[in-house]
């Protein structure tokens, strides 16, 4: 528990103090957000706001994770390291995307194919390593099975599992990326899910099969360290949100959104709650579905379902204030996370 508190506190302090420094540095270097002319017109006033702020909370989370282990004299675990590798690797892909946008002064960065290739390469390395590295009890960070509240069904094999993991990683990194776009929206939504994973990791630690074998125990390799990772990123994200809340003084950019999607997918895979993430991160899923519906409808019928996709921009065009949308969407994110946690705990409820 000490690790969790230290990781969260250090991440919060580093990000809270580091973000204004990043704002000044990025402003001085002219690293500002590019805005599409055909997008929401109210966003044109945001052009030039410092972007790539995701670098701050990614670095803060990494330092916070290291500090928690240094302070408690405990070694990092394979599970925690792999999840942080996934976060950092996808953050690097996002950084390249942001850098190209700034260098070429346009709203589009990496070509979609190159961006997807970067996500797939990082994801494939994670998928291969996460089913290896067993501990002394033979438990690996993940099994080649699909999971909901725990692993379910038979093994789908290394190839099938790798494909499934890649779908999750690409899907959720892009989902958080689509959720980004309004000041503080993605930060708040992702923070709620990270808070849920702090609780899930702690609960799995207290009910792991190594200490107390039972019908509902968890075969999770490093539940405490996964909670530490979630706490480190959560603390860093809260510090960033202080400056990212409406009106934002800095944007996370693809650097931050892809990194956040990666850490959420990594935590779901390592805690054996892959399908549960669809509910926990329900807001991101809903927003992604709005884009799929919009594109599918336009291609098939030539008509749009929403005034603009992703969904948050539909409500902007309906006249909702940005802060109203953000707060209401945060509430939806909280409800989704609460529902997911309720489902996670339901199997522990007393049977009549």
Q: For residue 32, give the 3-state DSSP assignment.
A: strand
Q: Are 65 and 228 in contact (CB under 8 A)?
A: yes
Confidence at 352, pLDDT banded by 50, 70, 90: low
- The residue-averaged pLDDT of 7-27 equals 95
| pLDDT value at residue 114 | 87
Cα 273 off chain centre by: 14
More confident: 181 or 46: 181
More confident: 113 or 186: 186
- The residue-averaged pLDDT of 337-349 equals 92
Is 30's pLDDT higher than 80? Answer: no
As a 3-state breakdown, the chain gives helix, strand, coil percent values, each rounded to 5, of 70, 0, 30
Q: How far apart are CA 295 and CA 140, in angstroms?
A: 40
Residue (of 174, 185, 197) closest to 289 by Cα position: 174
Q: What is the DSSP string of 255-272?
A: HHHHHHHHHHHHHHHHTT
Mean pLDDT of the chain, nearest integer: 91
Q: How many CA atoms lie within 13 A of 197 on its CB side?
A: 38
β-bridge partners, 218? 208
Q: How far apart are CA 92 and CA 86, in angstroms?
A: 10
| pLDDT value at residue 106 | 59
| pLDDT value at residue 113 | 85
Residue (of 302, 298, 320) closest to 311 by Cα position: 320
Q: How far apart are CA 261 and CA 87, in angstroms?
A: 8
Angle subtended at Cα 94 by Cα 89 and Cα 264, rounded to the nearest 5 degrees: 60
Q: Which one-letter DSSP state was computed for residue 41?
A: G
| pLDDT value at residue 43 | 52
Is 209's pLDDT higher than 70? Answer: yes
β-bridge partners, 146? 152
Residue (of 58, 55, 54, 51) closest to 105 by Cα position: 51
pTM over 0.85: yes
Angle subtended at Cα 247 by Cα 34 and Cα 256, rounded to the nearest 5 degrees: 55
Q: Of 128-132, 151-155, 209-213, 254-258, which range is least confident?
A: 209-213
Q: How far apart are CA 31 and CA 47, in angstroms?
A: 10
Is 146's pLDDT higher than 60? Answer: yes
Confidence at 215, pLDDT banded by 50, 70, 90: confident
Q: How far apart are CA 4 and CA 64, in angstroms?
A: 10
Residue (of 60, 56, 79, 85) closest to 7 by Cα position: 60
Angle subtended at Cα 92 by Cα 248 and Cα 43, rounded to the nearest 5 degrees: 25
| pLDDT value at residue 288 | 97
Is 42's pLDDT higher than 70? Answer: no
Q: What is the DSSP string of 225-260?
A: HHHHHHHHHHHHHHHHHHHHSSSPSS--HHHHHHHH
β-bridge partners, 208? 218
Is 72's pLDDT higher than 60? Answer: yes
Residue 113: what are its φ and ψ, rounded to 5°?
Answer: -65, -45
| pLDDT value at residue 41 | 47
pLDDT digits (tens, 9 = 90+) for 255-275: 999 999 999 999 999 999 999
Is 40's pLDDT higher than 60? Answer: no
Q: Are 62 and 11 in contact (CB under 8 A)?
A: no
């Amino acid at each position: 528990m000490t690790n969790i508190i230290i990781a969260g506190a250090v991440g919060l302090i580093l990000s809270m103090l580091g973000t204004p420094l990043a704002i000044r540095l990025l402003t001085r270097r002219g690293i500002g957000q590019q805005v599409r002319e055909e997008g929401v017109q109210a966003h044109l006033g945001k052009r030039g706001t410092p972007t790539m702020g995701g670098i701050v909370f990614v670095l803060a989370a990494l330092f916070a994770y290291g500090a928690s282990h240094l302070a408690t004299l405990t070694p990092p675990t394979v599970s925690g390291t792999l999840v942080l590798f996934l976060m950092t690797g996808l953050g690097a892909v996002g950084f390249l995307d942001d850098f190209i946008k700034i260098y070429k002064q346009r709203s589009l960065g990496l070509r979609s194919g190159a961006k997807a290739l970067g996500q797939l390469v990082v994801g494939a390395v994670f998928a291969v390593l996460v089913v290896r590295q067993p501990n002394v009890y033979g438990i690996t960070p993940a099994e080649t099975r699909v999971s909901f509240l725990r692993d379910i069904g038979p093994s789908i094999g290394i190839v099938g599992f790798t494909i499934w993991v890649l779908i999750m990683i690409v899907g959720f990194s892009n989902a958080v990326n689509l959720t980004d776009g309004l000041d503080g929206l993605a930060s708040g939504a992702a923070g709620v899910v990270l808070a849920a994973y702090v609780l899930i990791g702690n609960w799995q630690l207290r009910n792991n099969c190594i200490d107390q074998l039972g019908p509902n125990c968890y075969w999770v390799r490093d539940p405490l360290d996964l909670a530490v990772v979630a706490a480190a990123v959560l603390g860093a994200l809260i510090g960033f949100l202080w400056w990212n809340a409406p009106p934002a003084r800095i944007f996370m950019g693809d650097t931050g959104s892809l990194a956040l999607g990666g850490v959420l997918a990594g935590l779901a895979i390592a805690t054996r709650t892959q399908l549960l993430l669809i509910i926990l991160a329900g807001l991101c899923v809903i927003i992604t579905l709005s884009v799929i519906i919009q594109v599918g409808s336009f291609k098939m019928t030539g008509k749009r379902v929403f005034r603009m996709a992703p969904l948050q921009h539909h409500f902007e065009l309906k006249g909702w204030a940005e802060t109203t949308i953000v707060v209401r969407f945060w509430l939806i994110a909280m409800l989704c996370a609460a529902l997911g946690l309720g489902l996670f705990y339901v199997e522990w409820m007393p049977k009549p």
